[in-house]
Amino acid sequence: MTNQTEKPMEMTFELHVVLNCSASVGDKVAREELAGFVTSSNNTLLTRGAPPGCGAQIVSWDVLDEKINLTIVSDRFVRAHDAFLRLKKELTKLLGKYRIGIRGIEIAEYRITLDWEAGEGLQIRQLPFVKAINQAQGRLELLLEIDESAFDKRIPDRLIRLLEDKLDAARWKGKSEHWELLFESAKKHYLFDKDPTAEMLARGWLEHAAGRGQYVYGPQVTRIFRTFEKILLDELLTPLGYNEMIFPKFVAWDVWKRSGHAKGIYPEAYYVCTPKTRDPEYWEDVMDYFKVTNEVPVDMILGKIENVGGMCYAQCPPFWVFLQGKTLPDDILPVTVFDRSGPSYRYESGGLHGIERLDEFHRVEILWIGTKEQTIEHAKVLHEKYRHIFDDILDIEWREAWVTPWFMAQEGKAGLSELREVGTTDYEAMLPYSEKWLEFQNVSVNGDKYPRGFSVKLQSGQELWSGCSGVGLERWAAVFLAQKGLDAENWPQKFRSVVGELPEVFRFL
């Protein structure tokens, strides 16, 4: 999935560095030799790999006791910081001949100017490692605040990449998210026109939990969820040879760095923290405060914990640690596994609605791994199985649409997926009570994104691909109950035979 800007962005780099040497340079090295070094560097070293007439140049230099001052100006071909690293290597050799070492580097000024015509409407107010930003007349000027270690970490290149991404994001913002109808089921006769969550609350099938966007599911709803799982197992997972695994539900940052979620998950994550120490004495003030006030002193706690990641969000990313750094023999492919070991969490803010949109929800995550052909082929088989389930067992009205891939949306890159091979199909169903379509599951071919992110290889050297499909139990219930209602006698016969009698356990006075 590439999100390149349309044409390469013009840019100028202007770098002033001071090299602090171990001895007075002027005393030992002839000025002519340094001048010769600069000229030859300008002619070869600093233009190597760039088109004719392009690259970097030392535009001024100066020696003062132990200090060498350099100004390097470049275009985008040999960026000034890369030019400097090349130069430093050669200069170290030259000075070495005179037993002079380079003690340290001071970056006196680093100015990057970008052609920002395309970003006219996009205000860049702050950036990491940038102390001043000047945006005017179609140009964006950045004054960096960095030391030499930032060059090794490629911070200047990453800043530019970040700006290109922001530009792409701004371009896409105007366009609506990609949505294209692929398949539509037959129209169905709806048996219900109310909001099923309200109706379930009224019947005592579920209750709001103490947390936001969270429910306690009573025996009846739980039975319905487990019935969905059983149907999925009997009709799809077992026939297709799936094996169950247990994926972690706490997700450490390293996973989200590799999955790409670290680029954009922040506004939606449920964060997980651990105590800075488990020494009870360290926590005594918190305990005492609670005992005296009966209030949990959240502010005090915040100072005593550290964030280590978040709760399960997309469900499949932590699986990949199982394969991280490994090479698989081709003959085990395709591999098909699933996880249903716990909930997912998303901070939905104002978007909460019934069991359709929750902060805590439950999903069976289906994951397959294969060659490119196997992965694409398997997605087709899943589509057939799902159609059978929705048509012949749940008897619902639904449609399938080609949409912005879930992982691109979650990385904050809601771009269009031009390639039909990689991407997401959403399943949507009509909610008669609101006359709106609700996405209730997806099937995605994720390309080589995960094997690449987690360094998983195939013995033959062929590209390894993967796909995943999330079956939302609350969403299935929301759709099924919205169309069929809560009265079991109206449910399709095949579903009834699996669900059996709904348990009646509680009564309230």
Q: Which residues are catalytically annotated?
A: 316, 346, 348, 357, 365, 426, 439, 442, 468, 475
Q: Which residue, 118 or 456, has its beta carbon nearer to ligand SER?
A: 456
CB of 265 to ligand SER, least distance (A): 11
Does position 406 bind ligand SER by CB under 6 A?
A: yes
CB of 50 to Zn ion, least distance (A): 42
Q: If binding means CB under 5 A, how many residues of this protein chain bind Zn ion?
A: 2
CB of 214 to Zn ion, least distance (A): 22
* Nearest in space to 309 (alpha carbons), one of 259, 352, 359: 259
CA pair distance 496, 476, nearest whole angstrom: 15
Q: Which of residues 288-327 bind Zn ion (CB under 5 A)?
A: 316
CB 339 within 8 A of CB 319: yes
Q: Which residue, 81 or 258, has its beta carbon nearer to ligand SER?
A: 258
Residues 6+ apart with CB under 8 A from 422: 1, 405, 445, 446, 447, 449
Q: Which of 339, 365, 395, 428 binds ligand SER (CB under 6 A)?
A: 365
Burial 94-132 (b: 16+ CB within 10 A, else e): ebeeeebebeebebeebbbebbbebbeebebeeeebbee
In the list Zn ion, ligand SER, none, the entry touching 442 (Cβ below 5 to 8 angstroms by class) is ligand SER
Does position 402 bind ligand SER by CB under 6 A?
A: no
In the list ligand SER, Zn ion, none, the entry touching 411 (Cβ below 5 to 8 angstroms by class) is none
Q: Cis link prior to 128 (omega < 30° from 0)? A: no
In the list ligand SER, Zn ion, none, the entry touching 112 (Cβ below 5 to 8 angstroms by class) is none
Sign of the torsion angle spanned by Cα atoms 29, 30, 35, 37: negative
CB of 118 to ligand SER, least distance (A): 31
CA pair distance 63, 485, nearest whole angstrom: 84
Number of Cβ within a 10 Å radius of residue 210: 6
CB of 471 to ligand SER, least distance (A): 8
Q: Which residue, 246 or 300, has its beta carbon nearer to ligand SER?
A: 246
Residue 154, burial from CB neighbour count under 10 angstroms (0-12, 13-18, 19+): middle
CB 287 within 8 A of CB 275: no
Which residue number has the CB closest to ligand SER? Answer: 470
CB 262 within 8 A of CB 407: no
Please report the beta strands in 416-502, taking only residues with DSSP state E, as ranges in sequence order: 423-431, 436-445, 457-458, 464-472
What does the per-residue mask of binding to ligand SER show for 293-322, with x meaning CB under 6 A? ---------------------xxx------
CA pair distance 321, 251, nearest whole angstrom: 11
Q: Which of 468, 477, 479, 482 binds Zn ion (CB under 5 A)?
A: 468
Q: Which residue, 72 or 468, has its beta carbon nearer to ligand SER?
A: 468
CB 435 within 8 A of CB 283: no
* Nearest in space to 37 (alpha carbons), one of 8, 68, 75, 11: 68
Q: Which of residues 432-461 bind ligand SER (CB under 6 A)?
A: 442
* Nearest in space to 9 (alpha carbons), one of 109, 110, 79: 79
Q: Which residue, 100 or 473, has its beta carbon nearer to Zn ion?
A: 473
Does position 337 bind Zn ion by CB under 5 A?
A: no
CB of 465 to ligand SER, least distance (A): 15
Q: Which residue, 82 or 365, has its beta carbon nearer to ligand SER?
A: 365
CB of 469 to ligand SER, least distance (A): 6
Q: If binding means CB under 6 A, how many residues of this protein chain bind ligand SER?
A: 9
Q: Which residue, 220 or 315, has its beta carbon nearer to ligand SER?
A: 315
* Nearest in space to 201 (alpha carbons), one of 489, 486, 495, 475: 486
In the list ligand SER, Zn ion, none, the entry touching 75 (Cβ below 5 to 8 angstroms by class) is none
CB 450 within 8 A of CB 315: no
Binding residues for Zn ion (CB under 5 A)? 316, 468
Binding residues for ligand SER (CB under 6 A)? 314-316, 363, 365, 406, 442, 468, 470
